[in-house]
């Protein structure tokens, strides 16, 4: 087999990506600024309307909250089970459960939370019986708080999976050196542990943010579109559930892509800055 | 706090794990219990019987399985050879490949489906069949399949292995079949199972493009029948669990897993 066959395979892959990934994305950008009489910014301007502004606010808030919850809780869990004194069975239990839960998202996850914390959910009913009426206290599963709680179910285990190699790579000798020099655990973390972990933590946060920002199925099945998110608004336009031009769907999509590119760019810049610290060591 | 104390799981560690355990186990236990509820105080497998009796479930499940297998085939035929040849003959294309593998992250599924519907309004033989979904599913699986194959390819010295094979008189086809693919086994099995799990539960593309896959069926069913929805959630958790168990077993052959072990 010679190089021409190799180029055939490489070419086929690139052609498929250009046709079905790059071209549709470019098409969105074109469609978002094309009206009946050619170029127009009218559709981009509609993103400023109350309905769409709220959708972006909801999506951003939900992604920020669930990514932060995931990074903090997932980081603490990974840190706890990676201590040398932690039992091995616990470590493998957490690892394998994380792999399952990180992929247990979408419609089934929404149903699991409805069965548990919905208005007629089992936990809601049990708590009501002991005099704790969650929905009277202002909680609702079908709110941004409820969505954040639900999203954390796949965000935390995803964090555990991503951060485990980075925490495992922290050398015990650094900690010992810090202790010998008289550093408290707090000082060790502030001056050694966290700076070394920083690039991984930033990268993980970005991945979790994107994961939540582009999630659609969980939100759709949970709220039936009652809470506007950018993803559910786009799907409402596409399926014709709202009287809106397809260009608005394209403009919303371009808005999402802009957010993702911005977040990724910030992450790359910050990771580069943070890893300069470790590159010297 | 002494040095030994920092290594043992202190009360803080246990509290974290117990709280996490409660958060993760309660919804599963409640869903499982709810799926067995038959009204009043009777419990049984009625919801599961209802699912099995449903005429549409086998079709939806079968369609999702076919789509999952087709997506895996597309990855094996399109991505794997392209990556091997890129590493061998055109390492200069690596940044382009990296860029393509990042794109599906930057372009969310719902945006890609908007772009696809805007660009392709025909031909009917392409967009009219559910197998049209294989195209977006290919890109859905691309980032993690690329990542895991990339790790696998970096772990072996592709050029040396190829040259060694050639000096022993093997053709390129033989080298790929007998040397490269076997050493990528863990990466291949891992990304195959992950793809299966992702496609089985995929909802965004199927729902917008109006194809009745397993997840779409599950959503329709669940909107009317609360206990059936719970039963479906349990079944789908078990499917995910089985797929991930496979990934973990496949990964055990890999020696260089950071952390753990």
Interval A136-150: pLDDT, tens: 888 888 889 999 999
Q: Which of B105, B203, B208 lies nearest to residue A239, judging by beta carbons? A: B208
Q: Which residues of B touch A123 (CB under 8 A)?
A: 26, 30
pLDDT at A159: 93
Percent of the residues in chain B that have a pLDDT greater than 90, as a whole number: 33
- Crossing angle for the helix pair A144-168 and A194-213, to the nearest 10 degrees: 140
- Furthest CA-CA distance within chain A: 75
A216–B30 CB contact, under 8 Å = no
Confidence of residue A102 (pLDDT cuts 50, 70, 90): confident
Q: Which residues of B touch A109 (CB under 8 A)?
A: 233
Q: Which residues of A touch B8 (CB under 8 A)?
A: 83, 85
pLDDT (average), residues B196-225 = 88
Confidence of residue A271 (pLDDT cuts 50, 70, 90): confident
Which tokens in the block code for residue B187? 């990466």
B111–A23 CB contact, under 8 Å = no
Domain count, chain A: 2
Q: Which residues of A touch B82 (CB under 8 A)?
A: 9-10, 12-14
Between CA A80 and CA A94 the distance in angstroms is 10
A12–B31 CB contact, under 8 Å = no
pLDDT at B69: 93
pLDDT (average), residues A247-259 = 93
Distances (CA, A) of A240 to A75, B131, B204, B209: 42, 23, 15, 12
Distance from CA of B207 to the nearest CA of A (A): 9
Between CA B71 and CA A103 the distance in angstroms is 18
Among chain A residues, CA nearest to B26:
A116
Q: How many CA within 13 A on the CB side of residue A185?
A: 7
Structural domain contains residue A92: yes
B82–A14 CB contact, under 8 Å = yes
Between CA B48 and CA A28 the distance in angstroms is 43
Same domain, A230 and A270: yes
Structural domain contains residue A39: no
Same domain, A1 and A56: no
A100–B237 CB contact, under 8 Å = yes
Among chain B residues, CA nearest to A213:
B108
Q: Which residues of B touch A82 (CB under 8 A)?
A: 259
Q: Which of B24, B96, B116 lies nearest to residue A24, judging by beta carbons? A: B116
| Full residue range of the structural domain in which residue A17 is found | 1-32
Structural domain contains residue A38: no
CB B20 within 8 A of CB B27: no
Q: Is B110 exposed, middle or buried (0-12, 13-18, 19+ CB in 10 A)?
A: buried
Q: How many CB pairs lie under 8 A apart between chains A and B?
A: 278
Confidence of residue B133 (pLDDT cuts 50, 70, 90): very high
Q: How many other β-carbons are positioned within 10 Å of the β-carbon of residue B88?
A: 19
> Picking from A222-226, A271-275, A276-280, B75-79, which range would have the lowest pLDDT averaged per residue?
A276-280
Task: Give me the CATH number covering residue A170.
Answer: 1.10.3720.10
Q: Which residues of B touch A22 (CB under 8 A)?
A: 103
**pLDDT of B57 higher than 60:** yes
Of A85-89, B106-110, B183-187, highest mean pLDDT: B106-110
B17–A81 CB contact, under 8 Å = yes
pLDDT (average), residues A117-134 = 88
Structural domain contains residue A225: yes
Structural domain contains residue A171: yes
CB B65 within 8 A of CB A162: no
pLDDT (average), residues B22-43 = 88
Q: Which of A84, A121, A253 lies nearest to residue B111, judging by beta carbons? A: A253
Which tokens in the block code for residue B124? 């009917």
pLDDT at B7: 59
pLDDT (average), residues A46-63 = 91
Same domain, A134 and A237: yes
CA pseudo-torsion sign A190, A195, A196, A197: positive
Task: Say whether B181 sits in a helix, a strand or coil.
Answer: helix
**pLDDT of B46 higher than 60:** yes
pLDDT at B141: 92
Same domain, A262 and A169: yes
B16–A80 CB contact, under 8 Å = yes
Q: Helices in B156-225 by DSSP H: which ranges?
A: 158-167, 172-175, 181-183, 185-201, 204-208, 214-224
pLDDT at A205: 92
Which tokens in the block code for residue A249? 């769907």
Same domain, A90 and A207: yes
pLDDT (average), residues B17-25 = 93
Phi, psi of B203 (to 5 degrees): -125, -40
**pLDDT of B132 higher than 90:** yes
pLDDT at A268: 84
pLDDT at B239: 84
A176–B226 CB contact, under 8 Å = no
Q: Which residues of A touch B244 (CB under 8 A)?
A: 96, 99-100, 103
Same domain, A12 and A95: no
**pLDDT of B8 higher than 80:** no
Between CA A5 and CA B8 the distance in angstroms is 57
**pLDDT of B4 higher than 70:** no
B203–A103 CB contact, under 8 Å = no
Phi, psi of A38 (to 5 degrees): 85, -150
Q: Which residues of A touch B36 (CB under 8 A)?
A: none
CB A111 within 8 A of CB B230: yes
Between CA A104 and CA A110 the distance in angstroms is 10
pLDDT at B161: 87
Which tokens in the block code for residue A280? 């010297």
Same domain, A161 and A238: yes
A12–B35 CB contact, under 8 Å = no
Lookup result for tokens 């790359």: A268
Confidence of residue B44 (pLDDT cuts 50, 70, 90): confident
B229–A16 CB contact, under 8 Å = no
**pLDDT of A227 higher than 90:** no
A249–B9 CB contact, under 8 Å = no
Structural domain contains residue A135: yes
Q: Which residues of A touch B206 (CB under 8 A)?
A: none
A107–B218 CB contact, under 8 Å = yes
Same domain, A19 and A54: no
Same domain, A24 and A106: no
What is residue B120's DSSP assignment?
A: -
pLDDT at A267: 84
Task: Say whether B206 sits in a helix, a strand or coil.
Answer: helix
pLDDT at A146: 92
A112–B233 CB contact, under 8 Å = yes
User: What average pLDDT is seen over chain A?
Assistant: 87
Q: Which of A108, A216, A238 lies nearest to residue B233, judging by beta carbons? A: A108
Distance from CA of B70 to the nearest CA of A (A): 15
pLDDT at A192: 85
Same domain, A1 and A68: no
- What are the pLDDT digits (tens) for A165-188? 888 888 788 888 888 898 888 888
3-state secondary structure chain A: CCHHHHHHHHHHHHHHHHHHHHHHHHHHHHHHCEECCEECCHHHHHCCCHHHHHHHHHHHHHHHHHHHHHHHHHHHHHHHHHCCCCCHHHHHHHHHHHHHHHCCCCHHHHHHHHHHHCCCCHHHHHHHHCCCCCCCCCCCCCCHHHHHHHHHHHHHHHHHHHHHHHHHCCCHHHHHHHHHCCCCHHHHHHHHHHHHHHHHHHHHHHHHHHHHHCCCHHHHHHHCCCCCCHHHHHHHHHCCCCCCCHHHHHHHHHHHHHHHHHHHHHHHHHHHHHHHHHHCC
What ipTM was reported for this prediction?
Answer: 0.85
Q: Which of A28, A105, A220 lies nearest to residue B114, judging by beta carbons? A: A28
Between CA B189 and CA B211 the distance in angstroms is 28
pLDDT (average), residues B42-55 = 83
Confidence of residue A229 (pLDDT cuts 50, 70, 90): very high
Short-list B159, B96, B215, CA closest to A18: B96
Same domain, A14 and A92: no
pLDDT at A103: 83
**pLDDT of B120 higher than 50:** yes
Distance from CA of B198 to the nearest CA of A (A): 7
Same domain, A186 and A125: yes
Q: Which residues of B touch A112 (CB under 8 A)?
A: 27-28, 30-31, 230, 233, 237
**pLDDT of B255 higher than 50:** no
Which tokens in the block code for residue B220? 């329709």
Q: Which residues of B touch A157 (CB under 8 A)?
A: 24
pLDDT at B252: 67
> Picking from A256-265, B105-114, B129-138, B150-159, which range would have the lowest pLDDT averaged per residue?
B150-159
pLDDT at A256: 94
Between CA B110 and CA A213 the distance in angstroms is 11
Structural domain contains residue A273: yes
């Amino acid at each position: 087999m010679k190089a021409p066959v190799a180029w055939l395979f490489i070419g086929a892959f690139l052609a498929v990506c250009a046709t079905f990934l790059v071209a549709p994305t470019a098409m969105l950008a074109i469609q978002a600024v094309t009206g009946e009489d050619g170029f127009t910014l009218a559709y981009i301007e509609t993103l400023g309307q109350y309905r769409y502004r709220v959708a972006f606010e909801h999506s951003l808030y939900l992604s920020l909250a669930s990514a932060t919850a995931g990074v903090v809780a997932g980081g603490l869990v990974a840190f706890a089970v990676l201590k040398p004194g932690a039992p091995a069975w616990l470590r493998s239990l957490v690892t394998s459960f994380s792999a399952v839960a990180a992929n247990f998202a979408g419609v089934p996850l929404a149903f699991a939370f409805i069965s548990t914390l919905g208005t007629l959910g089992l936990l809601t009913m049990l708590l009501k019986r002991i005099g704790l009426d969650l929905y009277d206290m202002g909680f609702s599963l079908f709110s941004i708080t409820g969505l954040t709680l639900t999203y954390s179910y796949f965000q935390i285990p995803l964090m555990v999976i991503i951060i485990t190699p980075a925490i495992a790579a922290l050398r015990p000798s650094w900690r010992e050196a810090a202790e010998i020099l008289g550093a408290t655990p707090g000082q060790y973390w502030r001056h050694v542990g966290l700076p070394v972990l920083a690039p991984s933590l930033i990268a993980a946060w970005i991945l979790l943010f994107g994961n939540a920002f582009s999630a659609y199925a969980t939100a759709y099945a949970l709220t039936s579109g009652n809470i506007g998110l950018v993803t559910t608004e786009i799907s409402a336009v596409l399926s014709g559930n709202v009287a809106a031009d397809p260009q608005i769907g394209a403009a919303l999509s371009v808005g999402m892509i802009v957010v993702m590119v911005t977040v990724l760019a910030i992450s790359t810049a910050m990771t580069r800055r943070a890893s300069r610290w470790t590159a010297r060591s | 706090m002494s040095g030994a104390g920092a290594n043992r799981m202190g009360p803080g560690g246990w509290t974290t794990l117990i709280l996490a355990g409660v958060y993760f186990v309660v919804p599963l236990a409640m869903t499982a219990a709810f799926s067995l509820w038959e009204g009043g105080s009777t419990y049984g497998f009625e919801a599961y019987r209802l699912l099995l009796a449903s005429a549409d479930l086998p079709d939806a499940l079968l369609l999702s399985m076919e789509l999952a297998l087709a997506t895996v085939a597309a990855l094996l035929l399109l991505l794997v050879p392209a990556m091997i040849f890129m590493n061998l003959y055109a390492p200069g294309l690596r940044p382009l490949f990296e860029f393509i593998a990042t794109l599906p992250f930057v372009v969310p599924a719902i945006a890609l489906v908007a772009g696809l519907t805007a660009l392709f309004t025909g031909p009917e033989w392409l967009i009219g069949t559910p197998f049209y979904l294989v195209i977006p599913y290919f890109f859905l699986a691309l980032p993690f399949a690329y990542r895991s194959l990339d790790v696998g390819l970096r772990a072996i010295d592709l050029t040396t292995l190829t040259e060694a094979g050639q000096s022993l008189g093997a053709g390129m086809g033989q080298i790929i079949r007998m040397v490269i693919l076997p050493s990528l086994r863990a990466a291949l099995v891992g990304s195959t199972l992950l793809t299966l799990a992702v496609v089985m539960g995929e909802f965004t593309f199927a729902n917008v493009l109006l194809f009745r896959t397993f997840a779409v069926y599950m959503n329709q069913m669940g909107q009317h029948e609360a206990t059936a929805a719970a039963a479906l959630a349990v079944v789908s958790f078990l499917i995910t669990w089985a797929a991930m168990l496979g990934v973990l077993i496949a990964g055990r052959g890999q020696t260089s897993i950071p952390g753990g072990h």
